[in-house]
Amino acid sequence: MNGAMAMRRVVIRERDAMLPIVILFLLNFVLLLCWTLIDPLKWQREPVKEDDPSSTYGFCRSEGDASIAFLTVLVILDFSALVLACVQAYRARHMDDDLTESRWLMQQLIFVNCD
């Protein structure tokens, strides 16, 4: 952002943009893989009413306590990435609209996460 404000030419390669995405993907993948191997979710089916066995509902449940730790780490990791994306969009808000779509990106980040 500082280069844009000082009117310097900054070249951003595809690799520069893809690196944070790949790192975030790999961290999520490793955490979810470890969660699945250490404390997998089990499908359970419960009756809606005790006297009517034909009416049931199903859900996934983890049996151990490791799921709370994995879920906490995943939420912190992904929420941090969301906050960093919002900060970058906020910092780029005064750039010329021909050079950036930060306003639209910020609106979409807010819209997607408010659903």
Q: Is the pTM of this model over 0.75?
A: no
Q: What is the pLDDT along the chain (115 residues), one digit of tens a residue?
A: 555 566 677 777 888 889 999 999 999 999 999 999 999 989 998 888 888 878 888 999 888 889 999 999 999 999 999 899 888 878 877 777 666 666 677 777 777 777 6
CA distance 78 to 73: 9
Report the 10 Å Cβ neighbour count for 89: 20
In contact, 106 and 95? CB cutoff 8 Å: no
* Beta strands at 41-49 and 52-62: parallel, antiparallel or unpaired: antiparallel
